[in-house]
C-alpha cells in the first residue's frame, strides 16, 4: 500500500520540474532528507527517485525565466574552487601507483559529492527571493520534523532503551549521521518558529524542537551529544539576557539527565574513559594517526576520496580498517593541505558573512528574516563543526545546503540595499566586492 501511495505522489512530483525547476528542487530536497521510498516495500524501494525528479528539473531549468545567475561572492568562489580541487585530487589517484588501487571507489565518491554540489548551485539559480528561501526551508525542516516525530514516538514507546536510526540506505542511516543531521535541524525549527506568519506553522516548529532534542538523545551518539551541548551553549550565548540563557541551558541538561534511560547514561559516561578503553575511540585515534602520516607523504594532493583503505593502513603500519572519524582529518588525508585550507576558508567565509548580516540588518524591520536565517546557519554549522570533529562527514549534503543559503542571504542583502528608499540610503552603505569582504553587505547600524 505504501508503494502505491508513493507512486501516486511521484507521478505528481516528477512533471513539476518541467514547469517549475524550483518545484523540482523542493521535490529533490524532500526525497534527499526524508527518503520516502525507504519506508516502502516493493518496486518503489528500488526506484532512483531522486534522479526521476532531477532530470525534469534540469530540462525545465533550460527554459525557465524565473532564475538568476549564481550570485558571485567570495563564498561562491571558494565553493567552486573546492569542487575543482576535488576533481584534481581524483585525477591524481588514477595516475598514482600507490593510490590507484582505490580508483573505483574514488570516482564513485566524486560522482556522489558532485551531485550534491551541483544541486547546491542549482539552488543558487532558482532560489531568487525570500519566499522561495522560506519554502525551501519549510520542506527541509518539515522533513526532519517528521523524522523527529517518528523516532521520538518509537523511542518513548520502547522506553528509550534502543538506538534510533535514520532512513535506511541513506546518508542519514547511521545513528551518528542521524544525530548530526537532527542537531543541524534544531536551529531551523527555531528560526521558522520565530519567522513564520502562520500561527499553526509556528506551533508545529516549536513542538518540533523538543522532539528533535529527544531524537538526538535517542541516537546514543556521543559525537552528536557533544554537538548538541555545543549548540545549547551557542544558543545561550546568543540570547540577549545571558542569565536566562544559562538557566535554559541548565534546565535542558537537567531534563535530559533525569529523563534519559540508564543505558544512555552508561553510554555517555564512557566519554571520560573512551581514549583508554573504548574500541571506537581508539579507532578514531588510529585513523587520525594514519591521516597525518598520509598527509605527510602527500601534502598537496592527498590520497583522494575514500583513501582510508586496508592497503594504505597496512602500508603505514596502522592496524585498522575504519574511516576518517573526523571531517578535518578526512579533508587533510583525502585532499591534502590545500583541500583542508579551502574547506576551512569556506566555513570562515560563511561565519563572517552571517556575522555581517546579523550586525547590519537587524535594525531593518522589513528584513527581519535575514539576520534570523543567518543565526540559523551559524548555529547549524556550529554543531556540524563540533560533531564533525569525531565523524567523517565532510561531504554531508545538509552542510552544503547551508553554504548555498549563505550565498543566497548575501545576495538578498545586496538587493535590499539596492531597493532601499533614498531616505534611508544614508544609513546603508553598499560594499563592493573586494579581496577581503563579501559584496554589498554594508548595512550600518546608524
Write out the chain's pLDDT in tens, 446 residues: 788 888 889 999 999 999 999 999 999 999 999 988 888 887 888 888 899 999 999 999 999 888 899 999 999 999 999 999 999 999 999 999 999 999 999 999 999 999 999 999 999 999 999 999 999 999 999 999 999 999 988 888 887 777 888 888 888 888 889 999 999 999 999 999 999 999 999 999 999 999 999 999 888 888 888 888 888 888 877 776 556 666 666 667 776 666 666 666 666 666 665 555 566 667 888 889 999 999 999 999 999 999 999 899 988 888 777 788 899 999 999 999 999 999 999 999 999 999 999 887 665 554 578 999 999 999 999 999 999 998 889 999 999 999 999 999 999 988 877 776 654 544 444 333 333 333 333 333 33
The tally of domains found in the chain comes to 1
Q: How far is CA 362 from CA 75, 208, 438, in A?
A: 22, 26, 18
Q: Is residue 302 part of a domain?
A: no
Look at residue 77 in the predicted model and tell me its pLDDT.
97
The three-state secondary structure class of 437 is strand
Look at residue 330 in the predicted model and tell me its pLDDT.
95
Q: Is residue 232 part of a domain?
A: yes
Closest CA to 141 of 196, 195, 208, 194: 208
Distance CA 153, CA 236 (A): 28
Distance CA 215, CA 212 (A): 5
Closest CA to 407 of 167, 126, 213, 142: 126
Q: Is residue 303 part of a domain?
A: no
Q: Is residue 291 part of a domain?
A: no
Look at residue 39 in the predicted model and tell me its pLDDT.
85
Q: Is residue 301 part of a domain?
A: no
Look at residue 432 in the predicted model and tell me its pLDDT.
31
Q: Which cell numbers hold the place of 70? A: 549564481
Distance CA 183, CA 176 (A): 11
Distance CA 373, CA 357 (A): 9
Q: What range defines the domain where residue 384 resides?
A: 2-272+326-427
Closest CA to 393 of 80, 178, 119: 178
CB 400 within 8 A of CB 379: no
How many residues would you count in the chain?
Answer: 446
Look at residue 244 in the predicted model and tell me its pLDDT.
63
Q: Is residue 393 part of a domain?
A: yes
> How many Cβ atoms sit within 10 Å of the Cβ of residue 277?
9
Look at residue 423 in the predicted model and tell me its pLDDT.
45
Q: Is residue 304 part of a domain?
A: no
Q: Is residue 312 part of a domain?
A: no
Amino acid at each position: 500500500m505504501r508503494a502505491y501511495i508513493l507512486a501516486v505522489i511521484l507521478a505528481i512530483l516528477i512533471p513539476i520540474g518541467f514547469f517549475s525547476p524550483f518545484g523540482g528542487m523542493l521535490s529533490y530536497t524532500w526525497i534527499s532528507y526524508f527518503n520516502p521510498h525507504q519506508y516502502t516495500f516493493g518496486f518503489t524501494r528500488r526506484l532512483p527517485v531522486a534522479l526521476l525528479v532531477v532530470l525534469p528539473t534540469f530540462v525545465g531549468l533550460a527554459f525557465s525565466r524565473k532564475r538568476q545567475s549564481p550570485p558571485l561572492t567570495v563564498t561562491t568562489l571558494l565553493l567552486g574552487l573546492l569542487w575543482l580541487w576535488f576533481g584534481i585530487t581524483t585525477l591524481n589517484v588514477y595516475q598514482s601507483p600507490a593510490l590507484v588501487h582505490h580508483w573505483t571507489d574514488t570516482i564513485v565518491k566524486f560522482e556522489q559529492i558532485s551531485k550534491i554540489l551541483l544541486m547546491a548551485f542549482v539552488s543558487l539559480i532558482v532560489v531568487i527571493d525570500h519566499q522561495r528561501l522560506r519554502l525551501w526551508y519549510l520542506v527541509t525542516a518539515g522533513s526532519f520534523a517528521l523524522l523527529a516525530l517518528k523516532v521520538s514516538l518509537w523511542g518513548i514507546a520502547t522506553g528509550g532503551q534502543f538506538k534510533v536510526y535514520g532512513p535506511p540506505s541513506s546518508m542519514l542511516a547511521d545513528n551518528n549521521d542521524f544525530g548530526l543531521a537532527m542537531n543541524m535541524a534544531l536551529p531551523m525549527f527555531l528560526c521558522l518558529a520565530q519567522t513564520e506568519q502562520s500561527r499553526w506553522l509556528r506551533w508545529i516548529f516549536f513542538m518540533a524542537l523538543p522532539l528533535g532534542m529527544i531524537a538526538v538523545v535517542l541516537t546514543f551518539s556521543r559525537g552528536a551529544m557533544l554537538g548538541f551541548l555545543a549548540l545549547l551553549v551557542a544558543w545561550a550565548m546568543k540570547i540577549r539576557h545571558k542569565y536566562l540563557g544559562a538557566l535554559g541551558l541548565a534546565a535542558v541538561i537537567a531534563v535530559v539527565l533525569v529523563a534519559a534511560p540508564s543505558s544512555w547514561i552508561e553510554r555517555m559516561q564512557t566519554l571520560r574513559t573512551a581514549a583508554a578503553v573504548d574500541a571506537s575511540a581508539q579507532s578514531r585515534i588510529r585513523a587520525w594517526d594514519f591521516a597525518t602520516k598520509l598527509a605527510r607523504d602527500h601534502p598537496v594532493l592527498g590520497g583522494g576520496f575514500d583513501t582510508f583503505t586496508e592497503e594504505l593502513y597496512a602500508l603505514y603500519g596502522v592496524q585498522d580498517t575504519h574511516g576518517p572519524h573526523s571531517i578535518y582529518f578526512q579533508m587533510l588525508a583525502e585532499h591534502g593541505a590545500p583541500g583542508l585550507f579551502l574547506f576551512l576558508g569556506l566555513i570562515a567565509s560563511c561565519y563572517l558573512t552571517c556575522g555581517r548580516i546579523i550586525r547590519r540588518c537587524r535594525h531593518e524591520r522589513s528584513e527581519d528574516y535575514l539576520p534570523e536565517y543567518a543565526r540559523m546557519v551559524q548555529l547549524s554549522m556550529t554543531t556540524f563543526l563540533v560533531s564533525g570533529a569525531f565523524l567523517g562527514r565532510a561531504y554531508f549534503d545538509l552542510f552544503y545546503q547551508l553554504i548555498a543559503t549563505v550565498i543566497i542571504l548575501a545576495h538578498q542583502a545586496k538587493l535590499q540595499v539596492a531597493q532601499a528608499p533614498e531616505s534611508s540610503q544614508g544609513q546603508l552603505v553598499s560594499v563592493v566586492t573586494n579581496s577581503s569582504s563579501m559584496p554589498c553587505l554594508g548595512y550600518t547600524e546608524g
